[in-house]
Amino acid sequence: MKIYSRKELNDYFLSLTYDDISLIPTEISRVKSRNDVNIKSAFLGIELGVPVVSSPMDTVTGITMAKELSASGCIGIVNRFDSSLNELFSDGKVVEGIQAVSVSLTADDELLEKLAANKLIICIDTANANNAHVLKKCEEIKKKYKVKVIVGNIAHGGTLKQLVDAGADAVRIGIGGGSVCTTSVQTGIGIGQVSSVLDSYFAREEQKLKIELIADGGIKSPGDVAKALSAGADVVMLGRMLAGTKETPGEVIKYSDQLWKKYRGSASFGVKMKGEFIEGEETMVPYKGTVKSVVNAISDGLKSSMSYLNCESLKDLKVKNSFAVLSTSSYLERLPRK
């Protein structure tokens, strides 16, 4: 079996996603237990206890979710689709615990001034960052206000320098990989998430660019979180893993003696509510309880992965360089059987 380096994985002849690869321990670990592993990091100047950022979807991140994630050492990016933005401010001051907010390309100066005055991260929430209008909006915001700006999304690092030149501080990586995203099916655009992250990572390193990388989409488990970070991401953005929790917007629904909550893509009909081109689906996910329990499971899984790999910190994980490419049977073999 060949053990691939990060660079060899980036040069692999096929596009790869999380189910296609595995992390390989190649040395004796000095880590006694996962409790000795430190997964603290910094993202856009904010100290994180867990390297997780929530997706600004209307069925994932409202005010309540953002506040709870902040309390759990993560960042919640408040969605721009419902009334959440109107509830952000009380007497001109932002609600406590809010750090990151999404806006559209048409966001007006009044809103942007309020966000900037409260030193909030601004996420320009579009499907395609490789767009002149997105770059122009980023340039305008950075010129007028002293704020950190996230743009997205991209599928590879070919335009990373242009994003940096426009002032972007972080970029969401991944097109079509979300579980309720149909962009790749509808448009033929996108590559595997691991390949997207790797290509963007090497573009940043080779050009010595100052921008932080967000692995956005396709993450289904704590193991995928470890793979994304090892591939070069600074943080991961989660949608479905956080969907269905108590803190997500929307009612808990009882159906067939089970509890559910709604989950839908940002370009789904339920969000657009008109006959535009649809690039997202709507579904129901099982109710999961509190988001804190989900974050704790991610934390434990990531720490456990790092203990296998002899990593005491995320800095150690980022220099690990041993991956396997899995056959379909090899991937299926490791799935639990009932």
DSSP count for the chain of H helices, then E strands: 12, 17
pLDDT, residue 269, reads 41
pLDDT category at 87 given cuts 50, 70, 90 is confident
One-letter amino acid of 259: L
Do 50 and 56 contact (CB within 8 A), yes or no?
A: no
State whether residue 93 is helix, strand or coil.
Answer: strand
Question: What are the tens digits of pLDDT across the range 217-244?
Answer: 999 999 999 999 999 999 999 999 999 9
pTM of the model: 0.93
* Of the ranges 100-104, 234-238, 318-322, the best mean pLDDT one: 234-238
Q: Which residues are registered as beta bridge partners of 78? A: 101
pLDDT tens column, 243-290: 999 999 988 998 888 999 998 876 544 444 455 555 667 888 999 999
Q: Where are the domains of the chain?
A: 6-23+36-312
pLDDT computed for residue 268 by the predictor:
43
CA dist 307 and 244 (Å) reads: 30
Q: Which architecture characterizes domain 6-23+36-312 according to CATH?
A: Alpha-Beta Barrel (3.20)
Q: What is the C-alpha to C-alpha distance for residues 96 and 78, in angstroms, rounded to an integer?
A: 13
pLDDT tens digit sequence for 167-194 = 999 999 999 776 567 676 677 787 999 9
At 30, the pLDDT band (50, 70, 90 cuts) reads: very high
- Compute φ and ψ for 48, nearest 5 degrees: -115, 140
**What is the number of other CB atoms lying within 10 angstroms of the CB of residue 167?**
18
Whether residue 76 has pLDDT greater than 60:
yes
